[in-house]
Structure 1
Amino acid sequence: MFTKVCGLTTRQQIDKAISYGYDAIGIVTYAKSKRYCPHAKALELAMHAKGRVKTVVVGKTYEDVKDVAYAFDYTQIHEARQVPHLILALKEMPPAAIQYDYFIYDASIGSGTFKPFPEWVKTMADKIILAGGLNPQNVCAVIKAIRPFGVDVSSGVETQGVKDFGLMKAFIDAVRNCLD
């Protein structure tokens, strides 16, 4: 199962994510996010991770990511806009006219609040990544109920707003153990 950890801000966090076996890491360049990375730092982190794990630059709109998107494998935005290597993140069904590599359903829009997933997400299971309030305690139930392509976590692996390596490990272990 594809597993992404988002909101990383340091090389050490990236190294831990890679050592734990995450498939992708997300770097946020949306200025109002508490996980915000200025563009120079985002580029440095992308280069540090390049070739070792899939890299995703994350913003609310394309304006947030456009200056650094070239350095990442994917661009994740909460805006229905056609861009290369798009991971579209919305809280509703994606528009048919937009082509994307993956679709993230996130009803919380980055708030980390868990909300039940609508039934229609099951129809997109082969391309959908679920996010929003996932943590080591609830991720297995979500996987069993929906059978998504992947899961994405951020605040669910934090303690007081900082990535907690124990929770990062517990999350990916929960995903792997759920699949056994």
Structure 2
Amino acid sequence: MTAVKICGVRTSDVIQSLKPLSVTHVGFVFAKSKRQVTPQQAGQLIRELRAGADAAGRPAPLAVGVFVDPSLDELAAVLAEAPLDVVQLHGKESPELCAAVRERFGVQLFKAVSIARDSDAVPADADVAAQLDRYRGTVDAILLDTHDPVYGGGSGTTFAWDCIPPYRRWAREAGVQLLVAGGLTADNVASLVADYRPDGVDVSSGVETDGMKDIAKIQAFVERVASVDHTSA
């Protein structure tokens, strides 16, 4: 089944609304962003996310922290307040840093790869290998996202999905997950999942209205993903 990550969550009401849905990951942004939260805020939201999960009979979604070029000390300070399951890195972090994060903090590591929004050239498998082979054994997932010149990701725009297959092949061969972000909405996510079969999808602005998470849009997004999974099962 396709993993669904709702990113940029900032409020308790959204956390509560996610609990009945088939959401597998919830993202909290610690990098510079209009969706940025403090470690203390995220810690409280994570506790609410996990509360009652066992009684409901299914695991709570994994808590994902989004960072851009953090130091290990910065990550330690956040994790002391917010017990993250996953650290997602959106900058120019080295394989050595990725490995150190996994080893020191015992978390999963997602590494974002930026795809230029105006590029329709499909990279060769050899080019993808040259880009990513150095991350073998240091990451649990690769996240494809549309490049944003300011924040690195979170642009709310799509990239050319024809670029996905060589990254998917690399991920399969490397034994890691492939997630896709960038401009996803309830209107286009079913096509992405049906045609390109990523292991997961990641959405933020595509389930917002006037800059705030919209519960109806989140529900529609999750249902569209599930509809493809059920048809293919």
Q: Give the TM-score normalised by structure 2.
A: 0.71
Question: What is the Cα deviation at residue 49 of structure 1?
Answer: 1.8
> Which amino acid counterpart does residue 46 of structure 1 have in structure 2?
I
Identify the match of residue 134 of structure 2 among 66, 90, 97.
Answer: 97
Question: What is the Cα deviation at residue 65 of structure 1?
Answer: 4.2
> Which amino acid counterpart does residue 152 of structure 1 have in structure 2?
D
Q: Report whether the alignment pairs 1:112 with 2:156.
A: yes
4+ residue runs over 6 A deviation: none
Conservation of the 8 A alpha-carbon contact between 1:23 and 1:53? yes
Conservation of the 8 A alpha-carbon contact between 2:4 and 2:201? yes
Distance 1:66 1:113, change over 3 A: farther
Question: What is the Cα deviation at residue 178 of structure 1?
Answer: 1.6
1:72-151 residue pairs with structure 2 within 5 A? Answer: 72-79=84-91, 80=93, 81-82=97-98, 83-84=101-102, 85-91=108-114, 93=128, 95-98=132-135, 99-108=138-147, 109-117=153-161, 118=163, 119-123=165-169, 124=171, 127-151=177-201
Determine the C-alpha separation between the residues in 1 that align with 2:16 and 2:61: 10
Q: RMSD over aligned Cα, in angstroms?
A: 1.8
Percentage identity across paired residues of the two chains: 29
DSSP-derived class of the 1:20 partner: coil
Question: What is the Cα deviation at residue 66 of structure 1?
Answer: 4.1
Aligned residue-pair number: 179
Determine the C-alpha separation between the residues in 1 that align with 2:48 and 2:27: 13
**Aligned counterpart, 2:68:** 60
Conservation of the 8 A alpha-carbon contact between 2:142 and 2:177? yes
Determine the C-alpha separation between the residues in 2 that align with 1:46 and 1:53: 9
Q: Report whether the alignment pairs 1:21 with 2:22.
A: yes
- For residues 123-148 of structure 1, what are the alpha-carbon distances to aligned partners after superposition, in whole Å with 9 as ceiling and x for unaligned? 13661000000000000111122111
DSSP-derived class of the 1:135 partner: coil
**Aligned counterpart, 1:155:** 205
Determine the C-alpha separation between the residues in 1 that align with 2:204 and 2:182: 8
Q: Give the TM-score normalised by structure 1.
A: 0.91
Give unpaired runs (5+ residues) of structure 1. none
Conservation of the 8 A alpha-carbon contact between 1:39 and 1:68? yes
DSSP-derived class of the 1:3 partner: strand
Determine the C-alpha separation between the residues in 1 that align with 2:183 and 2:25: 18
1:156-175 residue pairs with structure 2 within 5 A? Answer: 156-175=206-225
| Structure holding more helix per residue | 2
Greater CA drift, 94-103 or 155-164: 94-103
Determine the C-alpha separation between the residues in 1 that align with 2:6 and 2:204: 6
Determine the C-alpha separation between the residues in 1 that align with 2:76 and 2:37: 14
Conservation of the 8 A alpha-carbon contact between 2:66 and 2:87? yes
